[in-house]
Chains A and B, each alone.
Chain A
Amino acid sequence: MMQRATVRVVRDARRVPWLDPMVLPAAGALAVVVGYPVVYTLLLSLQDYDLLGTVPERFIGAANYRKLLDDPTFWQALGNTAIYTFGSVAVAALLGLALALLTESVGGHRGRLARTLLLTPWAVPFVVVAFLFRYMYLQNGGAINAALLATGVIDAPISWLNVSSLALTAVMITNIWTMTPFFFLLLAAALAGIPNEVIESARVDRARGWSLVVQIKLPFLRNALLVSSLLMIIANFNDFAKIWAMTQGGPGYATTTLVIYVYRQAFENFAIGYASAIGVVWLLLLLAFAIAYLRALRTS
């Protein structure tokens, strides 16, 4: 009956293997290029390591972490990061939701064109966005001041990026401009995925306008909102290009986030040990946040 000369035996069919060879290239690459630096970072955080090599490295235990707690710039950077990240994501998510709801009922070519064009900000490289807005935020000659002056909203040109109290807001506006299309895209897709029968039976129950949105549609969007927010929070925490190319973290430390601070400590002060300590703290914070977030997601 069995025509083949050699027969393949499935070895240990019942035992489940530890690893699958297909995963090895990816897992291997990540272990080397990411895993190893993570471990090395942990070690570096316990050392006083000068990148230039002018001073030999020495083990100083938790001294970097103690320095971190007393460092006002660290706390300012942490605060800036929190405001920048959560503020931008919240506003961008709301705007994205508003846009998704607005364009939902618009059909045909015009609707499709509008929806595609609204995605444009996301397609612009971050460095370009940073320089573009830097140009537009110029006190003299910037497009934004010109528009505000022309419409009479302000009397005198504002120095957006050079006034500490305004700089973070200006940077956040730029961030929101870039991020909103992402939320818009995902939420519009989630909205389109709501089964028609749900909407129709809600209409029969005389739900209309605002109540239709809040009570019927929002629950369907909850998952998409939460997951996309998590993705963007993680991405924002890592935002380097947008801020560096606009303000380099200035004026002073007004727009310095953790990323910028770590970069400057590592590559301008060459204090790798201290920079690594900041990074470790950052990672722990982000992990704690993500775990809490995912748990909230699972209970939904």
Chain B
Amino acid sequence: MSSVRPRDAVRRATRAARWAAIVVALVVSLAPVYWMVATSFKTELEAARLAPTLWPHEPTLANYRGLWSGSLPFLAFFTNTLLTCLATAVAAVVVATPAAYALSRARFRLRGVIGYAMLVFRMLPLVVLLAPLYLLLLHARLLDTHTGLVVGFATFGLPFAVWMMKGFIDTVPIEIEEAARIDGYPRWQIMLKVVVPLVVPGLLTTATFVFMEAWNNLIYPLTFITTLEKQTLPAALVLAFTGQFKTDWGGMMAAATLTTLPLMIAFFAVQRSMVRGLTSGAVAGA
């Protein structure tokens, strides 16, 4: 049957073209990340060359050593960021889960209003609220403290966390909760002992999302933290760039790599259940 051969050839050609396209996409996605890591192992001179080298010809750990023992308290920046982001993730999930549970199951008259309010809060230009928030933290004596920063981060992340957790909680069959009611458990305990254990992947995904959002936040630490030792990584990178790192691209990329690592690990760890969280909320409606 001679008609089969041309169709086979077309199919093979499309498959080859498809893989070519995917390879191009992979290169475009991964090349910059490779570039960052490669540069971090280059000497200052090599990194600033007019004609950049594809891989470090004189690889060195000097940049990383410089971060450890340099004039900037890089370790402090790292731990500050790690601790504030973890605290934010925990705080946001702890506060968001009961709210999401109530929005999902309970009937109360302000339910629709609060649901919409969450949506509106997500749209707010937070930079605008910066000044009043600054003054608020000033009065509460939380300026230049990590607590104040966590308050800002956590509230920023709350609407999204509530939305995501509600999506997860909606998937728990209500019969299980009715059985627990018959077994005599009050609502708080039903939430803690029956519902929460069933949405643990959702909890982790939401926590990771909040963690990532907080890690990415530049504007809050830049505005609220004034002492350099208390600063977080994003703000520290920006501040350092106007000073020490101005042309030390190698050093800058080393700092960048270390800033990226925790986020990337967290991201790839939960990436699969992230889809479930986003789609269950997204497809069902914003």
| Chains A and B touch each other in the complex, with CB atoms below 8 Å apart | yes
CB pair B238 A244 closer than 8 Å: yes
Contacts of A34 in B (CB 8 A): 121, 124, 129, 155
CB pair A287 B120 closer than 8 Å: yes
Most B CB contacts (10 A, CB to CB) among A185, A238, A263 go to: A238
CB pair A234 B122 closer than 8 Å: yes
- Flag whether B194 is at the interface (Cβ < 8 A): no
- Residue from A41, A119, A245, A283 in contact with B238 in the complex, judged by beta carbons closer than 8 Å: A245
A-B contact pairs, 13 of them (CB 8 A): A26-B96, A30-B159, A34-B155, A128-B256, A135-B39, A141-B48, A141-B51, A227-B283, A228-B282, A237-B123, A238-B126, A244-B219, A287-B120
The SS class assigned to the A binding surface is: helix
Closest beta carbon of chain A to B94's beta carbon, Å: 8
CA distance A40 to B139 in the complex (A): 14
- Flag whether A5 is at the interface (Cβ < 8 A): no
The SS class assigned to the B binding surface is: helix
CA distance A285 to B173 in the complex (A): 40
CA distance A263 to B129 in the complex (A): 10
CA distance A294 to B129 in the complex (A): 25
Contacts of A16 in B (CB 8 A): 107-109
CB pair A22 B32 closer than 8 Å: no
Tell me the count of chain A residues lying within 8 A, CB to CB, of chain B.
90
CA distance A35 to B236 in the complex (A): 30
When C-beta atoms are compared, the residue in chain B nearest to A113 turns out to be: B26
CA distance A34 to B153 in the complex (A): 11
- Flag whether A27 is at the interface (Cβ < 8 A): yes
Closest beta carbon of chain B to A244's beta carbon, Å: 7
- Flag whether A230 is at the interface (Cβ < 8 A): yes
Most B CB contacts (10 A, CB to CB) among A132, A181, A290 go to: A132
Closest beta carbon of chain A to B123's beta carbon, Å: 5
Residues 241 to 274 of chain B near chain A (Cβ within 8 Å): 241, 249, 252-253, 256, 259-260, 263-264, 267-268, 271, 274
CB pair B98 A22 closer than 8 Å: yes
Contacts of B39 in A (CB 8 A): 135
CB pair B253 A106 closer than 8 Å: no
Binary contact track A230-274/B, C-beta < 8 Å → 1, others 0: 110010011011001100000000000011001100110000100
Closest beta carbon of chain A to B17's beta carbon, Å: 10
CB pair A141 B131 closer than 8 Å: no
Most A CB contacts (10 A, CB to CB) among B22, B101, B106, B264 go to: B22
CB pair A23 B103 closer than 8 Å: yes
With A34-B129, A128-B260, A223-B283 already in contact, the answer to whether A25 and B108 are too (CB < 8 A) is no
